[in-house]
Amino acid sequence: MFTAHNYITAHNKNLTREQLKHLKEKAFTGYELVQGTARVCAMNMMLHGIGSEKQVPVVVGDALAADPGERFEVVLANPPFGKKSSTVIVGEDGRTGTEKDTIERDDFWATTSNKQLNFVQHIKTLLKQHGRAAVVLPDNVLFEGGAGETIRKKLLHECDVHTLLRLPTGLFYAQGVKANVVFFEKKGASETPWTKKLWIYDLRTNKHFTLKTSPLTRADLNEFVELYQAGNRHQRQATWTPENPGRPLARL
């Protein structure tokens, strides 16, 4: 939220009083499951000029529990990693066990206990028509069968899934996590899939970062941002070819 807020204020110097009020109190909404974390988040947001004593844009609760009813033009998300979701059950004899948390919602394409697949479906619901999303997702979401295959087919049909940024390892506290950023736009009803072509930028091959000694910086993403062409992405050009395999970009 801070980055998005700072970008808007830095690139729009002549906002009206009403626009500034909207930016402060209504433009952003965040969801957080843990109350303590939500309080820290709300405090940081207020210190950065987002929210007020009457309107703190952090909703405390399980984002996957139900459709909140709100719809957004942009969703940026880094859902918690972990393939399966479960609850610890303590029996009368004191023994503990786990029970899979399978999310069932009428607005979901498939029922699964995979948290990332459920977040993909939830984010699809949150978007207005032509709303845009960028979501950090592990590799299992791209390749898992069963419910994963159903959800991917539906996402490709109902949304324009136009960009995949393959992230290098070393960006997260869990070692060896292979993650991606998936960019898509929600579309209206159509007999044919909206996704026609997927543009892939590989920042993973022969790349490695660490949180402390070699962190990923904004400069490492400069080429991706330049080639992304947000205002004219249908004119993107591939830089990878069989004759020039050292380049990080491929287009499929």
Q: Kindly report the average pLDDT of the chain as a whole number.
A: 86
Of 3.30.70.360, 3.40.718.10, 3.40.50.150, 2.60.40.1180, the CATH number of 66-251 is 3.40.50.150
Q: Decide: residue 227, CB within 10 A, 0-12 exposed, 13-18 middle, 19+ buried.
A: middle
Q: For residue 168, give the 3-state DSSP assignment.
A: coil
Rg (C-alpha) for the chain, rounded Å, is 20
Domain ranges of the chain: 1-61, 66-251
Strand partners, 208: 169
The pTM of this model reads 0.84
Residue range 145-176, pLDDT digits in tens: 999 999 999 999 999 999 999 999 888 877 77
For the segment 197-209, the average pLDDT, to the nearest whole number, is 89
Helix axis angle for 147-158 and 115-126, nearest 10°, is: 20
Amino acid at 110: A
- How far apart CA 45 and CA 22 sit, in angstroms, is 15
